[in-house]
Structure 1
Protein backbone atom coordinates (compact mmCIF):
# COMPACT_ATOMS: atom_id res chain seq x y z
CA UNK A 1 0.00 0.00 0.00
CA UNK A 2 2.89 2.37 0.72
CA UNK A 3 4.15 2.12 -2.86
CA UNK A 4 0.66 2.69 -4.23
CA UNK A 5 0.23 5.71 -1.96
CA UNK A 6 3.56 7.12 -3.12
CA UNK A 7 2.63 6.68 -6.80
CA UNK A 8 -0.74 8.41 -6.35
CA UNK A 9 0.91 11.18 -4.33
CA UNK A 10 3.65 11.63 -6.93
CA UNK A 11 1.12 11.92 -9.74
CA UNK A 12 -0.99 14.45 -7.86
CA UNK A 13 1.98 16.52 -6.72
CA UNK A 14 3.43 16.66 -10.22
CA UNK A 15 0.09 17.92 -11.50
CA UNK A 16 0.07 20.65 -8.85
CA UNK A 17 3.60 21.71 -9.78
CA UNK A 18 2.41 22.39 -13.31
CA UNK A 19 0.15 25.12 -11.92
CA UNK A 20 2.23 26.75 -9.15
CA UNK A 21 -0.26 29.59 -8.97
CA UNK A 22 -2.12 27.48 -6.37
CA UNK A 23 0.39 28.70 -3.79
CA UNK A 24 -0.60 32.34 -4.21
CA UNK A 25 -4.30 31.68 -4.70
CA UNK A 26 -4.54 29.68 -1.49
CA UNK A 27 -2.68 32.37 0.47
CA UNK A 28 -4.86 35.28 -0.63
CA UNK A 29 -7.66 34.87 1.90
CA UNK A 30 -5.52 34.43 5.06
CA UNK A 31 -3.16 37.21 3.93
CA UNK A 32 -6.07 39.60 3.50
CA UNK A 33 -7.23 38.77 7.02
CA UNK A 34 -3.74 39.50 8.34
CA UNK A 35 -3.48 42.82 6.53
CA UNK A 36 -7.05 44.07 7.03
CA UNK A 37 -8.26 42.36 10.20
CA UNK A 38 -5.04 41.99 12.19
CA UNK A 39 -4.63 45.73 12.99
CA UNK A 40 -8.14 45.76 14.49
CA UNK A 41 -7.04 43.28 17.16
CA UNK A 42 -4.30 45.51 18.59
CA UNK A 43 -6.67 47.37 20.88
CA UNK A 44 -8.69 44.41 22.10
CA UNK A 45 -6.14 41.68 22.86
CA UNK A 46 -5.98 42.78 26.49
CA UNK A 47 -9.73 42.61 26.89
CA UNK A 48 -11.14 39.93 29.21
CA UNK A 49 -11.70 36.63 27.44
CA UNK A 50 -8.97 37.00 24.84
CA UNK A 51 -6.19 34.38 24.66
CA UNK A 52 -2.67 35.18 25.78
CA UNK A 53 -0.18 36.71 23.38
CA UNK A 54 0.05 39.57 20.93
CA UNK A 55 -2.49 40.16 18.21
CA UNK A 56 -0.27 38.36 15.69
CA UNK A 57 0.28 35.40 18.01
CA UNK A 58 -3.50 35.13 18.25
CA UNK A 59 -4.42 35.71 14.60
CA UNK A 60 -1.58 34.01 12.67
CA UNK A 61 -2.12 30.48 14.04
CA UNK A 62 -5.85 30.94 13.45
CA UNK A 63 -5.10 31.83 9.83
CA UNK A 64 -3.15 28.59 9.52
CA UNK A 65 -6.29 26.74 10.55
CA UNK A 66 -8.31 28.80 8.07
CA UNK A 67 -5.81 27.85 5.38
CA UNK A 68 -6.07 24.17 6.19
CA UNK A 69 -9.85 24.33 6.35
CA UNK A 70 -10.66 26.13 3.10
CA UNK A 71 -7.56 25.02 1.22
CA UNK A 72 -8.56 21.36 1.42
CA UNK A 73 -12.33 21.57 1.63
CA UNK A 74 -12.87 21.94 -2.11
CA UNK A 75 -10.37 19.46 -3.53
CA UNK A 76 -13.34 17.22 -4.23
CA UNK A 77 -14.09 19.27 -7.33
CA UNK A 78 -11.06 17.71 -9.00
CA UNK A 79 -12.18 14.22 -8.06
CA UNK A 80 -15.62 14.79 -9.58
CA UNK A 81 -13.89 15.83 -12.80
CA UNK A 82 -11.76 12.66 -12.71
CA UNK A 83 -14.87 10.56 -12.11
CA UNK A 84 -16.68 12.18 -15.04
CA UNK A 85 -13.62 11.81 -17.27
CA UNK A 86 -13.30 8.10 -16.55
CA UNK A 87 -10.04 8.34 -14.60
CA UNK A 88 -11.51 6.51 -11.60
CA UNK A 89 -12.87 3.79 -13.88
CA UNK A 90 -9.37 3.18 -15.26
CA UNK A 91 -7.95 3.08 -11.74
CA UNK A 92 -10.63 0.64 -10.69
CA UNK A 93 -9.20 -2.13 -12.87
CA UNK A 94 -5.69 -1.72 -11.41
CA UNK A 95 -4.48 -3.66 -8.36
CA UNK A 96 -3.78 -0.39 -6.53
CA UNK A 97 -4.99 -0.26 -2.94
CA UNK A 98 -8.23 1.69 -2.56
CA UNK A 99 -6.83 3.24 0.60
CA UNK A 100 -3.84 4.48 -1.40
CA UNK A 101 -6.15 6.18 -3.91
CA UNK A 102 -7.41 8.36 -1.08
CA UNK A 103 -4.27 8.73 1.03
CA UNK A 104 -2.06 9.70 -1.91
CA UNK A 105 -4.44 12.48 -2.88
CA UNK A 106 -4.93 13.63 0.72
CA UNK A 107 -1.17 13.83 1.29
CA UNK A 108 -0.85 16.15 -1.70
CA UNK A 109 -3.31 18.51 0.00
CA UNK A 110 -1.37 18.21 3.26
CA UNK A 111 1.94 19.15 1.63
CA UNK A 112 0.31 22.09 -0.13
CA UNK A 113 -1.15 23.35 3.16
CA UNK A 114 2.20 23.08 4.91
CA UNK A 115 4.03 24.96 2.15
CA UNK A 116 1.42 27.71 2.14
CA UNK A 117 1.44 27.79 5.94
CA UNK A 118 5.21 28.25 6.04
CA UNK A 119 4.95 31.15 3.60
CA UNK A 120 2.16 32.69 5.65
CA UNK A 121 4.23 32.55 8.85
CA UNK A 122 7.21 34.03 6.99
CA UNK A 123 5.10 37.00 5.86
CA UNK A 124 3.80 37.48 9.40
CA UNK A 125 7.35 37.48 10.77
CA UNK A 126 8.86 39.81 8.15
CA UNK A 127 5.95 42.23 7.72
CA UNK A 128 4.12 42.24 11.07
CA UNK A 129 6.92 41.36 13.47
CA UNK A 130 5.43 38.07 14.64
CA UNK A 131 7.48 36.35 17.32
CA UNK A 132 7.02 32.62 17.85
CA UNK A 133 9.34 29.74 18.80
CA UNK A 134 10.67 27.66 15.90
CA UNK A 135 9.51 24.46 17.55
CA UNK A 136 6.01 25.83 17.97
CA UNK A 137 5.85 26.95 14.35
CA UNK A 138 7.01 23.54 13.09
CA UNK A 139 4.47 21.80 15.30
CA UNK A 140 1.73 24.11 14.07
CA UNK A 141 2.63 23.28 10.45
CA UNK A 142 2.35 19.57 11.22
CA UNK A 143 -1.09 20.22 12.70
CA UNK A 144 -2.05 22.08 9.52
CA UNK A 145 -0.87 19.12 7.46
CA UNK A 146 -3.03 16.77 9.52
CA UNK A 147 -5.96 19.15 9.12
CA UNK A 148 -5.31 19.10 5.37
CA UNK A 149 -5.53 15.29 5.30
CA UNK A 150 -8.71 15.41 7.41
CA UNK A 151 -10.52 17.96 5.26
CA UNK A 152 -9.30 16.51 1.97
CA UNK A 153 -10.54 13.04 2.95
CA UNK A 154 -13.92 14.51 3.90
CA UNK A 155 -14.05 16.47 0.64
CA UNK A 156 -13.21 13.42 -1.49
CA UNK A 157 -15.77 11.26 0.31
CA UNK A 158 -18.48 13.88 -0.11
CA UNK A 159 -17.55 14.36 -3.76
CA UNK A 160 -17.94 10.63 -4.46
CA UNK A 161 -21.27 10.69 -2.66
CA UNK A 162 -22.68 13.66 -4.61
CA UNK A 163 -20.78 13.65 -7.95
CA UNK A 164 -22.34 16.95 -9.03
CA UNK A 165 -20.30 20.15 -8.91
CA UNK A 166 -23.38 22.36 -8.69
CA UNK A 167 -24.45 20.63 -5.49
CA UNK A 168 -21.00 19.94 -4.04
CA UNK A 169 -19.88 23.58 -3.83
CA UNK A 170 -22.94 25.03 -2.05
CA UNK A 171 -23.15 22.06 0.32
CA UNK A 172 -19.49 22.34 1.27
CA UNK A 173 -19.88 26.07 1.87
CA UNK A 174 -22.92 25.41 4.04
CA UNK A 175 -20.91 22.98 6.16
CA UNK A 176 -17.59 24.82 6.34
CA UNK A 177 -18.79 28.38 7.04
CA UNK A 178 -20.49 27.71 10.40
CA UNK A 179 -17.58 25.48 11.41
CA UNK A 180 -15.24 28.41 10.79
CA UNK A 181 -17.40 30.97 12.59
CA UNK A 182 -17.85 28.74 15.64
CA UNK A 183 -14.15 27.86 15.90
CA UNK A 184 -12.98 31.22 17.20
CA UNK A 185 -10.69 31.82 14.25
CA UNK A 186 -11.53 35.52 14.04
CA UNK A 187 -12.94 36.32 17.48
CA UNK A 188 -12.30 33.81 20.30
CA UNK A 189 -15.49 32.15 21.48
CA UNK A 190 -15.11 32.20 25.27
CA UNK A 191 -17.47 32.32 28.22
CA UNK A 192 -16.62 36.01 28.65
CA UNK A 193 -17.15 37.12 25.05
CA UNK A 194 -19.94 34.80 23.91
CA UNK A 195 -23.43 33.98 25.17
CA UNK A 196 -23.61 30.67 27.00
CA UNK A 197 -25.59 28.95 24.25
CA UNK A 198 -23.08 30.01 21.59
CA UNK A 199 -20.14 28.89 23.71
CA UNK A 200 -21.80 25.51 24.29
CA UNK A 201 -22.25 25.01 20.54
CA UNK A 202 -18.63 25.98 19.88
CA UNK A 203 -17.46 23.25 22.26
CA UNK A 204 -19.05 20.67 19.96
CA UNK A 205 -17.02 22.03 17.04
CA UNK A 206 -13.75 20.04 16.72
CA UNK A 207 -12.04 22.96 14.99
CA UNK A 208 -12.32 25.05 18.17
CA UNK A 209 -9.82 22.73 19.85
CA UNK A 210 -7.51 22.82 16.83
CA UNK A 211 -7.43 26.63 16.92
CA UNK A 212 -6.60 26.58 20.63
CA UNK A 213 -3.85 24.03 20.02
CA UNK A 214 -2.30 26.18 17.30
CA UNK A 215 -2.30 29.24 19.55
CA UNK A 216 -0.68 27.26 22.36
CA UNK A 217 2.03 26.07 19.96
CA UNK A 218 2.77 29.65 18.89
CA UNK A 219 3.25 30.59 22.54
CA UNK A 220 5.61 27.66 23.07
CA UNK A 221 3.25 26.18 25.66
CA UNK A 222 4.00 22.58 24.73
CA UNK A 223 2.71 21.09 27.96
CA UNK A 224 -0.67 22.79 27.87
CA UNK A 225 -3.92 20.88 27.94
CA UNK A 226 -5.17 22.86 24.94
CA UNK A 227 -2.35 21.59 22.74
CA UNK A 228 -2.80 17.96 23.74
CA UNK A 229 -6.59 18.00 23.44
CA UNK A 230 -6.47 19.78 20.08
CA UNK A 231 -4.09 17.20 18.60
CA UNK A 232 -6.10 14.27 19.97
CA UNK A 233 -9.39 15.68 18.68
CA UNK A 234 -7.89 16.29 15.24
CA UNK A 235 -6.46 12.76 15.14
CA UNK A 236 -9.86 11.31 16.03
CA UNK A 237 -11.70 13.34 13.41
CA UNK A 238 -8.95 12.65 10.86
CA UNK A 239 -9.20 8.88 11.36
CA UNK A 240 -12.98 9.11 10.91
CA UNK A 241 -12.81 11.09 7.67
CA UNK A 242 -10.02 8.91 6.25
CA UNK A 243 -12.07 5.80 7.06
CA UNK A 244 -15.12 7.29 5.32
CA UNK A 245 -13.06 8.32 2.33
CA UNK A 246 -11.56 4.83 1.95
CA UNK A 247 -15.02 3.27 2.17
CA UNK A 248 -16.29 5.59 -0.57
CA UNK A 249 -13.37 4.66 -2.85
CA UNK A 250 -14.00 1.00 -2.15
CA UNK A 251 -17.68 1.40 -2.96
CA UNK A 252 -16.81 3.21 -6.18
CA UNK A 253 -14.52 0.33 -7.16
CA UNK A 254 -17.00 -2.44 -6.45
Structure 2
Protein backbone atom coordinates (compact mmCIF):
# COMPACT_ATOMS: atom_id res chain seq x y z
CA UNK A 1 0.00 0.00 0.00
CA UNK A 2 1.44 3.34 -1.03
CA UNK A 3 1.71 6.32 1.31
CA UNK A 4 -0.99 8.22 -0.62
CA UNK A 5 -3.42 5.29 -0.41
CA UNK A 6 -2.71 4.87 3.30
CA UNK A 7 -3.36 8.59 3.92
CA UNK A 8 -6.64 8.50 1.96
CA UNK A 9 -7.84 5.45 3.89
CA UNK A 10 -6.96 7.03 7.23
CA UNK A 11 -8.75 10.25 6.27
CA UNK A 12 -11.87 8.35 5.30
CA UNK A 13 -11.85 6.49 8.60
CA UNK A 14 -11.39 9.68 10.62
CA UNK A 15 -13.97 11.75 8.71
CA UNK A 16 -17.04 12.37 10.85
CA UNK A 17 -20.25 10.79 9.69
CA UNK A 18 -23.03 13.23 8.87
CA UNK A 19 -26.24 12.14 10.55
CA UNK A 20 -29.33 13.16 8.61
CA UNK A 21 -32.53 13.29 10.64
CA UNK A 22 -35.62 11.73 9.22
CA UNK A 23 -39.21 11.34 10.27
CA UNK A 24 -40.61 13.18 13.30
CA UNK A 25 -37.14 14.20 14.48
CA UNK A 26 -36.47 16.17 11.31
CA UNK A 27 -39.93 17.73 11.38
CA UNK A 28 -39.57 19.03 14.95
CA UNK A 29 -35.99 20.22 14.37
CA UNK A 30 -36.97 22.05 11.19
CA UNK A 31 -40.03 23.55 12.90
CA UNK A 32 -37.82 24.86 15.72
CA UNK A 33 -35.40 26.35 13.19
CA UNK A 34 -38.17 28.15 11.28
CA UNK A 35 -39.78 29.37 14.52
CA UNK A 36 -36.44 30.74 15.77
CA UNK A 37 -35.87 32.58 12.50
CA UNK A 38 -39.34 34.10 12.52
CA UNK A 39 -39.35 35.15 16.18
CA UNK A 40 -35.94 36.82 15.80
CA UNK A 41 -37.41 38.99 13.05
CA UNK A 42 -40.12 40.11 15.49
CA UNK A 43 -37.59 40.89 18.22
CA UNK A 44 -35.49 42.94 15.80
CA UNK A 45 -38.52 45.08 14.97
CA UNK A 46 -40.24 45.70 18.34
CA UNK A 47 -42.19 48.67 16.95
CA UNK A 48 -44.66 46.34 15.25
CA UNK A 49 -45.22 44.47 18.52
CA UNK A 50 -45.72 47.71 20.45
CA UNK A 51 -48.14 49.09 17.86
CA UNK A 52 -50.20 45.90 17.90
CA UNK A 53 -50.42 46.25 21.69
CA UNK A 54 -51.61 49.87 21.55
CA UNK A 55 -54.45 49.06 19.17
CA UNK A 56 -56.43 46.84 21.59
CA UNK A 57 -55.87 49.35 24.40
CA UNK A 58 -57.51 51.99 22.19
CA UNK A 59 -60.45 49.63 21.65
CA UNK A 60 -60.73 49.22 25.41
CA UNK A 61 -60.79 52.97 25.93
CA UNK A 62 -63.31 53.69 23.17
CA UNK A 63 -65.66 50.70 23.30
CA UNK A 64 -65.71 50.43 27.08
CA UNK A 65 -67.88 53.53 27.59
CA UNK A 66 -70.30 52.34 24.90
CA UNK A 67 -70.95 49.16 26.88
CA UNK A 68 -71.83 50.99 30.08
CA UNK A 69 -75.53 51.01 29.28
CA UNK A 70 -75.48 47.27 28.84
CA UNK A 71 -73.94 46.67 32.24
CA UNK A 72 -75.68 49.49 34.04
CA UNK A 73 -72.74 51.68 34.89
CA UNK A 74 -69.79 53.65 33.60
CA UNK A 75 -66.44 52.38 32.42
CA UNK A 76 -64.83 54.60 34.98
CA UNK A 77 -67.54 54.23 37.57
CA UNK A 78 -66.92 52.77 40.98
CA UNK A 79 -68.18 49.35 42.00
CA UNK A 80 -69.30 46.29 40.09
CA UNK A 81 -70.19 48.07 36.85
CA UNK A 82 -66.56 48.70 35.91
CA UNK A 83 -65.51 45.18 36.83
CA UNK A 84 -68.41 43.65 34.88
CA UNK A 85 -67.61 45.70 31.82
CA UNK A 86 -63.93 44.76 31.87
CA UNK A 87 -64.58 41.13 32.72
CA UNK A 88 -66.81 40.84 29.67
CA UNK A 89 -64.82 43.01 27.28
CA UNK A 90 -61.14 42.19 27.96
CA UNK A 91 -61.34 38.53 26.79
CA UNK A 92 -62.96 39.70 23.57
CA UNK A 93 -60.14 42.18 22.98
CA UNK A 94 -57.55 39.45 23.53
CA UNK A 95 -59.36 37.24 20.98
CA UNK A 96 -59.32 40.21 18.61
CA UNK A 97 -55.52 40.43 18.94
CA UNK A 98 -55.26 36.78 17.99
CA UNK A 99 -57.56 37.14 15.01
CA UNK A 100 -55.93 40.29 13.65
CA UNK A 101 -52.37 39.04 14.10
CA UNK A 102 -52.79 35.53 12.74
CA UNK A 103 -55.04 36.47 9.83
CA UNK A 104 -52.33 38.82 8.54
CA UNK A 105 -49.56 36.21 8.74
CA UNK A 106 -49.76 35.72 5.00
CA UNK A 107 -48.87 39.36 4.32
CA UNK A 108 -45.30 38.71 5.49
CA UNK A 109 -45.13 35.71 3.20
CA UNK A 110 -46.34 37.80 0.27
CA UNK A 111 -43.47 40.22 0.88
CA UNK A 112 -40.96 37.37 0.94
CA UNK A 113 -42.41 35.97 -2.28
CA UNK A 114 -42.04 39.37 -3.99
CA UNK A 115 -38.43 39.77 -2.82
CA UNK A 116 -37.49 36.19 -3.70
CA UNK A 117 -36.46 35.20 -0.18
CA UNK A 118 -39.23 32.61 0.10
CA UNK A 119 -37.89 30.72 -2.92
CA UNK A 120 -34.52 30.55 -1.19
CA UNK A 121 -36.23 29.06 1.87
CA UNK A 122 -37.90 26.44 -0.33
CA UNK A 123 -34.50 25.56 -1.77
CA UNK A 124 -33.25 24.49 1.67
CA UNK A 125 -33.67 20.91 2.94
CA UNK A 126 -36.29 22.10 5.42
CA UNK A 127 -39.46 20.06 5.58
CA UNK A 128 -42.26 21.93 3.77
CA UNK A 129 -44.71 21.18 6.57
CA UNK A 130 -42.25 22.50 9.16
CA UNK A 131 -41.97 25.77 7.25
CA UNK A 132 -45.68 26.40 7.66
CA UNK A 133 -45.99 25.14 11.24
CA UNK A 134 -42.96 27.14 12.38
CA UNK A 135 -44.36 30.33 10.88
CA UNK A 136 -47.77 29.72 12.47
CA UNK A 137 -46.25 28.98 15.90
CA UNK A 138 -44.46 32.31 15.79
CA UNK A 139 -47.80 34.04 16.33
CA UNK A 140 -48.28 32.38 19.74
CA UNK A 141 -45.37 34.05 21.58
CA UNK A 142 -46.44 37.68 20.93
CA UNK A 143 -50.05 36.72 21.71
CA UNK A 144 -49.05 35.37 25.11
CA UNK A 145 -47.15 38.55 26.01
CA UNK A 146 -49.83 40.90 24.71
CA UNK A 147 -52.69 39.06 26.40
CA UNK A 148 -50.96 39.05 29.78
CA UNK A 149 -50.02 42.73 29.51
CA UNK A 150 -53.56 43.81 28.66
CA UNK A 151 -54.99 41.80 31.55
CA UNK A 152 -52.44 43.25 33.99
CA UNK A 153 -53.09 46.82 32.79
CA UNK A 154 -56.82 46.39 33.49
CA UNK A 155 -56.39 45.03 37.04
CA UNK A 156 -56.30 48.50 38.70
CA UNK A 157 -59.64 49.31 37.02
CA UNK A 158 -61.46 46.34 38.53
CA UNK A 159 -60.55 43.44 36.25
CA UNK A 160 -60.11 40.16 38.15
CA UNK A 161 -57.21 38.11 36.81
CA UNK A 162 -57.22 34.32 37.35
CA UNK A 163 -53.78 33.10 36.32
CA UNK A 164 -54.24 29.39 35.52
CA UNK A 165 -57.55 29.69 33.62
CA UNK A 166 -56.16 32.71 31.77
CA UNK A 167 -53.01 30.81 30.74
CA UNK A 168 -55.17 27.94 29.52
CA UNK A 169 -57.27 30.44 27.58
CA UNK A 170 -54.15 31.90 25.94
CA UNK A 171 -52.91 28.40 25.05
CA UNK A 172 -56.31 27.70 23.51
CA UNK A 173 -56.01 30.89 21.48
CA UNK A 174 -52.54 29.80 20.41
CA UNK A 175 -54.00 26.56 19.03
CA UNK A 176 -56.73 28.50 17.25
CA UNK A 177 -54.19 31.02 15.96
CA UNK A 178 -52.04 28.28 14.41
CA UNK A 179 -55.01 27.21 12.30
CA UNK A 180 -55.90 30.76 11.26
CA UNK A 181 -52.25 31.54 10.52
CA UNK A 182 -51.93 28.43 8.38
CA UNK A 183 -55.04 29.41 6.40
CA UNK A 184 -53.62 32.91 5.96
CA UNK A 185 -50.38 31.46 4.60
CA UNK A 186 -52.32 29.23 2.21
CA UNK A 187 -54.28 32.26 1.01
CA UNK A 188 -51.03 34.16 0.46
CA UNK A 189 -49.62 31.31 -1.65
CA UNK A 190 -52.85 31.20 -3.66
CA UNK A 191 -52.65 34.99 -4.11
CA UNK A 192 -49.04 35.00 -5.29
CA UNK A 193 -48.46 37.89 -7.72
CA UNK A 194 -51.99 39.13 -6.89
CA UNK A 195 -51.61 40.89 -3.55
CA UNK A 196 -54.97 42.60 -3.91
CA UNK A 197 -56.67 39.18 -3.80
CA UNK A 198 -55.17 38.36 -0.40
CA UNK A 199 -56.30 41.63 1.18
CA UNK A 200 -59.71 41.47 -0.47
CA UNK A 201 -60.47 38.00 0.90
CA UNK A 202 -58.87 38.67 4.28
CA UNK A 203 -60.79 41.89 4.90
CA UNK A 204 -64.05 40.45 3.56
CA UNK A 205 -63.91 37.60 6.06
CA UNK A 206 -62.30 39.33 9.03
CA UNK A 207 -64.95 41.84 10.03
CA UNK A 208 -68.05 39.63 9.56
CA UNK A 209 -66.35 36.99 11.73
CA UNK A 210 -65.51 39.64 14.30
CA UNK A 211 -69.01 41.10 14.48
CA UNK A 212 -70.80 37.74 14.43
CA UNK A 213 -68.72 36.45 17.34
CA UNK A 214 -70.07 38.94 19.86
CA UNK A 215 -66.51 40.07 20.46
CA UNK A 216 -67.21 43.77 20.63
CA UNK A 217 -70.95 43.94 21.35
CA UNK A 218 -73.37 41.34 22.78
CA UNK A 219 -75.40 39.43 20.21
CA UNK A 220 -78.34 38.86 22.54
CA UNK A 221 -79.88 42.18 21.47
CA UNK A 222 -79.34 41.48 17.77
CA UNK A 223 -81.82 40.05 15.27
CA UNK A 224 -82.51 36.31 15.20
CA UNK A 225 -80.74 35.81 11.85
CA UNK A 226 -77.54 37.24 13.30
CA UNK A 227 -77.75 34.97 16.34
CA UNK A 228 -78.27 31.98 14.04
CA UNK A 229 -75.31 32.94 11.85
CA UNK A 230 -73.14 33.29 14.96
CA UNK A 231 -73.66 29.61 15.76
CA UNK A 232 -71.77 28.71 12.56
CA UNK A 233 -68.87 31.01 13.44
CA UNK A 234 -66.02 29.17 15.23
CA UNK A 235 -64.89 32.49 16.66
CA UNK A 236 -68.13 32.69 18.66
CA UNK A 237 -67.17 29.61 20.66
CA UNK A 238 -63.65 30.95 21.18
CA UNK A 239 -64.98 34.22 22.59
CA UNK A 240 -67.43 32.45 24.90
CA UNK A 241 -64.70 30.10 26.13
CA UNK A 242 -62.27 32.95 26.80
CA UNK A 243 -64.85 34.87 28.82
CA UNK A 244 -65.53 31.83 30.97
CA UNK A 245 -61.82 31.08 31.44
CA UNK A 246 -60.84 34.66 32.23
CA UNK A 247 -63.72 34.61 34.69
CA UNK A 248 -61.86 31.88 36.56
CA UNK A 249 -63.94 28.83 35.57
CA UNK A 250 -62.84 25.62 33.88
CA UNK A 251 -65.96 23.49 34.37
CA UNK A 252 -68.25 24.97 31.75
CA UNK A 253 -69.57 23.63 28.45
CA UNK A 254 -68.42 26.85 26.76
CA UNK A 255 -64.81 25.82 27.45
CA UNK A 256 -65.41 22.42 25.87
CA UNK A 257 -66.90 23.97 22.76
CA UNK A 258 -63.98 26.38 22.64
CA UNK A 259 -61.52 23.48 22.69
CA UNK A 260 -63.45 21.79 19.86
CA UNK A 261 -63.50 25.00 17.79
CA UNK A 262 -59.77 25.58 18.31
CA UNK A 263 -58.85 21.98 17.51
CA UNK A 264 -60.98 21.84 14.35
CA UNK A 265 -59.69 25.22 13.13
CA UNK A 266 -56.10 24.13 13.77
CA UNK A 267 -56.56 20.79 12.00
CA UNK A 268 -58.29 22.30 8.96
CA UNK A 269 -55.77 25.14 8.76
CA UNK A 270 -52.76 22.83 8.89
CA UNK A 271 -54.29 20.45 6.35
CA UNK A 272 -54.96 23.23 3.85
CA UNK A 273 -51.74 25.11 4.63
CA UNK A 274 -49.43 22.10 4.40
CA UNK A 275 -50.97 21.05 1.10
CA UNK A 276 -50.51 24.58 -0.30
CA UNK A 277 -46.92 24.75 0.96
CA UNK A 278 -45.96 21.42 -0.58
CA UNK A 279 -47.37 22.52 -3.93
CA UNK A 280 -45.48 25.84 -3.81
CA UNK A 281 -42.63 26.17 -6.27
Normalization by structure 1: what TM-score?
0.91
1:239 equivalent in structure 2: 267
**In structure 2, the residue corresponding to 1:43 is in which secondary structure?**
helix
1:213 equivalent in structure 2: 241
Q: Does 1:6 align with 2:32?
A: yes
2:251 equivalent in structure 1: 223
Q: Counterparts of 1:1-254 in structure 2 under 5 Å? A: 1-45=27-71, 54-126=84-156, 128-163=157-192, 164-190=194-220, 193-253=221-281
Q: Which has the higher mean CA deviation after the structures are superposed, 209-218 or 150-159? A: 150-159
Report how far residue 166 of structure 1 moved.
2.4
Report how far residue 132 of structure 1 moved.
2.6
CA distance in 1, matches of 2:238, 2:131: 27
CA distance in 1, matches of 2:184, 2:71: 35
CA distance in 2, matches of 1:122, 1:220: 15
Between 1 and 2, higher relative CO (CA 8 Å, sep ≥ 6) is seen in 1
CA distance in 2, matches of 1:38, 1:214: 18
Report how far residue 46 of structure 1 moved.
5.8
Larger Cα Rg: Structure 1 or Structure 2?
2
- Structure 1 residues 3-26: Cα deviation after superposition (integer angstroms, max 9, x where no partner): 000000011111111101122211
Report how far residue 43 of structure 1 moved.
3.3
1:50 equivalent in structure 2: none
The unaligned stretches of length 5 or more in structure 1 are 48-52
CA distance in 2, matches of 1:73, 1:26: 13
Report how far residue 167 of structure 1 moved.
2.4
The unaligned stretches of length 5 or more in structure 2 are 1-26, 74-82
CA distance in 2, matches of 1:122, 1:26: 16
**In structure 2, the residue corresponding to 1:204 is in which secondary structure?**
coil
- Structure 1 residues 43-96: Cα deviation after superposition (integer angstroms, max 9, x where no partner): 31269xxxxx71111000000110000111112111011112222222223221
- Please provide the CA RMSD for this pair: 1.6
Aligned residues: 245
Is contact 1:117-1:144 (8 Å) kept? no
Q: Which has the higher mean CA deviation after the structures are superposed, 78-87 or 54-63? A: 78-87
Is contact 1:61-1:140 (8 Å) kept? no
CA distance in 1, matches of 2:219, 2:195: 33
Normalization by structure 2: what TM-score?
0.83
Is contact 1:114-1:144 (8 Å) kept? no
